[in-house]
């Protein structure tokens, strides 16, 4: 079973003491470099984040530095997400996210 939910409307939920909400807007995130910048900032990745898929996989599966108990990634404008990357890169990234959410 997939570890994601597709919403019909955008959530107004904001980060709280126990919940961290990261917004990934495909309209502005059309390359991996832009994704790395956005997500590393929102999820407070350590400074040694390597800006590559292997490093992203390690970081997204750790997140021990975050104090929040619940972390949500909300994708907006998904059809535009990583539009400058090839389908294989997008599939690898989504597999990493799906695997991390099951941890």
User: Which domains are assigned to the chain?
Assistant: 19-97 (3.30.370.10)
Taking alpha carbons only, the member of 44, 20, 21, 39 closest to residue 29 is 39
Give first-to-last CA distance, the chain, whole Å. 13
CA 94/CA 92 separation, integer angstroms: 6
What is the rounded CA–CA span in Å between residue 85 and residue 71?
26
Other CB atoms within 10 A of residue 98 CB: 12
Cα distance between residue 45 and residue 67, in whole Å: 13
Evaluate whether 85 touches 32 at the Cβ level (below 8 Å): yes
Residue 1 confidence (pLDDT): 40
Average the pLDDT over each of 15-29, 54-68, 83-97 and give the range with the smallest value: 15-29
The pLDDT, as a whole number, for residue 31 is 97
Predicted confidence at residue 19, as pLDDT, reads 86
Q: What is the pLDDT of residues 5-58, one digit of tens each?
A: 555 555 555 556 788 889 999 999 999 999 999 999 999 999 999 999 999 999
Place of tokens 């939910």: 5
pTM equals 0.81
């Amino acid at each position: 079973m997939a570890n994601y939910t597709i919403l019909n409307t955008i959530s107004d939920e904001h980060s709280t003491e126990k919940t961290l909400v990261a917004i990934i807007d495909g309209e502005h995130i059309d390359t991996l470099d832009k994704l790395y910048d956005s997500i590393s900032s929102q999820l407070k990745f350590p400074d040694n984040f390597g800006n590559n898929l292997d490093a992203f996989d390690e970081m997204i599966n750790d997140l021990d530095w975050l104090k929040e108990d619940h972390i949500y990634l909300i994708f907006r404008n998904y059809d535009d997400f990583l539009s400058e990357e090839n389908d294989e890169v997008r599939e690898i990234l989504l597999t990493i996210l799906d695997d991390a959410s099951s941890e």
